[in-house]
Chain A
Amino acid sequence: MQAGAALLVVVGVLLGIAALAVALARRPRAYRIVYAASLAASLAGFAIALTALLSNAASFVVLPLGLPWVGARFAVDALSAFFLAVVNLGGAAASLYGLGYGRHEEAQHRVLPFYPAFLAGMNLVVLAADAFTFLLSWEFMSLASWALVLAHHREAENRRAATVYLVMASFGTMALLLAFGLMAGAGGDYSFAAIRAAERAPLAASLALVLALLGAGSKAGLVPLHVWLPLAHPAAPSHVSALMSGVMTKVAVYGFIRIVFDLVGEPAWWAALVLIALGGISAVLGILHALMERDLKRLLAFSTIENIGIVFACLGLALAFRANAMEWAAALALTAALFHVFNHALFKSLLFFGAGAVLTATGSRDMERLGGLIHRMPATALFFLVGALAISALPPLNGFISEWLAFQAILQSPALDGWGLKIAVPALGGMLALAAALAAACFVRAFGVAFLGRPRAPEAAEAKEVDRFSLAAMAGLALICLLAGILPGFVIDALAPVTRLAVSGAMPIQAELPWLSIVPITEGRSSYNGLLVFLFIAISGFGSAAVIHRFASRRLRRAPAWDCGFPVPAAATQYSAGGFAQPFRRIFGATLFAARDEVTMPPPGDMRPARLVTIIHDPIWERAYVPLAGAVDRLAGSLNRLQFLTIRRYLTLVFLFLVALLLVLALWT
């Protein structure tokens, strides 16, 4: 059967599992059934989507649901096939992880029914082929994830996170609703095919673009609409955090690409500039926030903002190239964005799984209470290391490939005309390079403080390795990260149908190049071979070790640490997370976050400890959101007086409104 119908069956199965979970949720072993069934469904979905992508088959299904004269349309083309593959791969990994992690969940009845519903919602958004279905599925996805964020509702910060998330999600849906309304025009046919073919005024198109950016950007986590992300993502259970950060943000990116590259037609000339600017700023701000954090999951959430910034910046470049009729360069930039979407789904899920494992084993997300976990949880540490290497864009793993492609796209940009772009693109290059270096610093800090060194608190000293399902999920993702870094040509070739759909251009076919290298433009301009680099490093490393062990010495002695002759047994003398980040707070934080370190030293003779307090402000929250919320409060307060009017006043209101409507009828021509 067609891919579309098959995927709808998968969605139906997931919804069925959700319904089953409502009934079974209170049973002790229910989580096994739910997660195993979700795993099977997601794997099936991934296989179907991958086949559809590789065979570039399009399919279209109309179901008689929803409004009677409209029905619900679903379609699978190259773009949705790729994102469906990403969604289902993430879902499968999270389900496998959940098979092990689910045992520690104490609020099963609040998590199990909504988890398959969340997966189903994400699949439906990508499958949707008309505006109604899209928006309904988008809301369904948001509500399911909101319920999951509220799973541990007894903690006040989770409730606050859920409130902020609900407000931002509603705002996003409203923006998308208005965007679709503007795009469909007065015709009333809301299917994507009709929207694609419709003619619209440039003002309407620009407005639709801005609204789509607001709607999809807020769900993806683009600055300045990112404030809900670091609150909500850590509040959910760890496998759900992985799904929200790794997969749901990608669904938002899909929505944006669908609207801007496919449905709107030719976007306005400033669209690329706005995307590049917002993307670059998100990248730098996100990773700087992450450097200031001591909570592992909040750090990962901020790092998501950075990676989404990179994706949107590459999308902006693709738009600029397409508007300049340089389709090959647009394909390069879009491939960079989509490869990064794939990569980020992989390594962010892996990192969240690792953080979840640490949380399970030690009960703490706070890096200042961890340390030395590489001895207690060696497998988790290894997989987290692979994730940290990948997210820092280091060869030979996959993060480097998408960054390399992005830089190659930036290097083609001098051919673009437009003064704004000529200034913005080098600035973007600087910002991306800065973000990559800061990401490496952030993850050296995260891995080093949490896993290396000595335990800083008793819970870290007594941690135990987690179960094999969690480890299997992390191992699978780590392996895919390595494979995607060594054999990137296959992924690039798989993305070719998507770029042909979106920008009418494609990169050269990579599969037939010698030694499996990748050549983005032509052989003489640039090339990279992940397999050879990996082999060289492996051979040099093992070879030198073998030579030295054979010819020099292989003796090893253990002794106390040297520490310049003054070893201190207390674990508190090693560097803390705050101490590691202090140079960054001082250099970057002082201007951007008004960061201050306050030290209160008691006078000599006083036995109280000295205190170090670090104060960080979020300028966007304090300058934009808090005044806005205050204004809304004041407006609501003044409107509240409408509740307490006398009868005569109410009658007057009704009378005035009736007269106003009649006037409008009289004057409207």
Chain B
Amino acid sequence: MTGALAFDIAHMLAGGLVLASFMLLYQDRLHGLVNTYALHALVLTASVAWQAWAQGAPHLYITALVALVFKALVIPLALHRIIRRLGIHRDIENAVGTGLTMLTGMGLVALSMVVMLRVTAEADPLAREDLAMALAVVLLGLLMMVTRRNAIGQVVGFMSLENGLVLAAAGARGMPLVVEISVAFSVLVAFIVIGIVLFRIRERFDTVDVGALDDFRGERR
């Protein structure tokens, strides 16, 4: 398979990840949000596996497997259970409207393309675009965290941000496995802690709306 086609497919998968991030932005139902996150993780798996094949780096297959098992299966299933037990499976409110969020997302994609393509002007031209899309995924994950009121939405945003980082690391050659394992474990630990905290919040305040928490911070507005 020629090099150009390999890069085209890599770009296609990276572009698919950006599209999945956009899909995450406009989900307003919690179950749909978690399923879209599972799709996000699946596209990441495909992208990392393709990079493993194209670069001839077999340890990336393990990264892909970790992504598949943890991020596409375990975490979404656990999130579905948490949502059902918290009883919040009705719908989400965004803090900002959908149209404005999508336009801001477009602006962030443009920004990340401009920044990446200027900063890496002397690097390999075809890998730069993958990095630009990875940066776009990171920024879109941050945007998602900023525009969600529900804590679960913010958690999913954080995890999609981390997916973007994995994509960047896999695109640039030579990401050692130990980094991936430690990142994966730290995400898992963070996730467990967040789950426990969510239950405690819900017990205490009867809601997981982070806006409601402001009233209890001790600063009157």
Contact = CB atoms under 8 A, between A and B. Distances in A.
- A in complex with B: yes
Interface of A: 419, 422-423, 587, 590-591
B114 interface: yes
Contacts of B97: 590-591
A423 B110 CA distance: 7
A591 B100 contact: yes
A591 B118 contact: no
B99 A591 contact: yes
B100 A419 contact: no
10 contacts: A419-B114, A419-B118, A422-B114, A423-B110, A423-B114, A587-B99, A590-B97, A591-B97, A591-B99, A591-B100
A424 B99 CA distance: 19
A281 B175 CA distance: 45
Given A419-B114, A419-B118, A587-B99, 7 more contacts: A422-B114, A423-B110, A423-B114, A590-B97, A591-B97, A591-B99, A591-B100
Nearest to A587: B99
Secondary structure at chain A's binding surface: helix, strand, loop or mixed? helix
B95 to A, nearest CB: 14
Contacts of A423: 110, 114
B88 to A, nearest CB: 26
Contacts of A419: 114, 118
Contacts of B114: 419, 422-423
A139 to B, nearest CB: 42
Q: Nearest 7 pairs between A and B by C-beta?
A: A423-B110, A419-B114, A591-B100, A591-B97, A591-B99, A423-B114, A419-B118
Contacts of B118: 419
Nearest to A430: B106
Contacts, number: 10
Interface string B195-212: 000000000000000000
A422 B109 CA distance: 13
Contacts of B99: 587, 591
Contacts of B110: 423
Nearest to B96: A591
Interface in B97-130: 97, 99-100, 110, 114, 118
A429 to B, nearest CB: 13
Nearest to A423: B110
A361 to B, nearest CB: 41
- Of residues A587, A590, A591, which shows the largest number of chain B Cβ atoms within 10 Å of its Cβ? A591
Nearest to B117: A419
A148 B110 CA distance: 48
B135 to A, nearest CB: 15
A591 B110 CA distance: 22
B96 to A, nearest CB: 10
A480 B97 CA distance: 45
Contacts of A587: 99
A421 to B, nearest CB: 11
A423 B112 CA distance: 12
B129 to A, nearest CB: 14
B22 to A, nearest CB: 16
A595 B100 CA distance: 16
A590 B96 CA distance: 12
Contacts of B100: 591
Nearest to B110: A423
B114 to A, nearest CB: 5
A534 B161 CA distance: 54
B97 to A, nearest CB: 6
Nearest to A422: B114
Interface string B77-101: 0000000000000000000010110
A590 B97 CA distance: 10
A590 B114 CA distance: 31
A76 B110 CA distance: 45
A591 B98 CA distance: 11
A335 B100 CA distance: 35
Nearest to A424: B110
Nearest to B114: A419
A590 B98 CA distance: 12
A242 B100 CA distance: 37
B103 to A, nearest CB: 10
A422 B114 CA distance: 9
Contacts of A422: 114
A311 B89 CA distance: 51
A339 to B, nearest CB: 30
A587 B99 CA distance: 9
Nearest to B97: A591
B104 to A, nearest CB: 12
A564 to B, nearest CB: 34
Contacts of A590: 97
A590 B100 CA distance: 11
A438 to B, nearest CB: 15
A423 B99 CA distance: 19
Contacts of A591: 97, 99-100
A40 B145 CA distance: 69
A341 B110 CA distance: 32
A587 B118 CA distance: 36
A522 B114 CA distance: 32
A519 to B, nearest CB: 33
A288 to B, nearest CB: 13
A475 B100 CA distance: 44
A423 B118 CA distance: 14
B50 to A, nearest CB: 28
A603 to B, nearest CB: 31
A422 B110 CA distance: 9
A457 to B, nearest CB: 36
Residue among B99, B100, B118 with max Cβ neighbours from chain A (10 Å): B99
A340 to B, nearest CB: 27
A280 to B, nearest CB: 13
B94 to A, nearest CB: 13
A420 to B, nearest CB: 9
A591 B97 CA distance: 9
A423 to B, nearest CB: 5
A419 B121 CA distance: 13
A277 to B, nearest CB: 13
A309 B100 CA distance: 23
Interface in B47-86: none
B41 to A, nearest CB: 30
A489 B97 CA distance: 46
Nearest to B100: A591
Interface in B138-190: none
Nearest to A420: B114
B199 to A, nearest CB: 36
Nearest to B115: A419
A423 B114 CA distance: 9
Most A C-beta atoms less than 10 A away, residue of B100, B110, B118: B110
A587 B110 CA distance: 24
A591 B99 CA distance: 9
Interface in B18-61: none
A123 to B, nearest CB: 44
A337 B179 CA distance: 57
Nearest to B106: A427
Nearest to A426: B110
A74 B211 CA distance: 68
A517 B118 CA distance: 42
B108 to A, nearest CB: 12
A648 B202 CA distance: 74
B221 to A, nearest CB: 23
A551 B46 CA distance: 61
**Most chain B beta carbons < 10 A, residue from A423, A587, A590:** A423
A360 B59 CA distance: 81
A587 B97 CA distance: 11
Nearest to B99: A591
B54 to A, nearest CB: 28
A591 B118 CA distance: 34
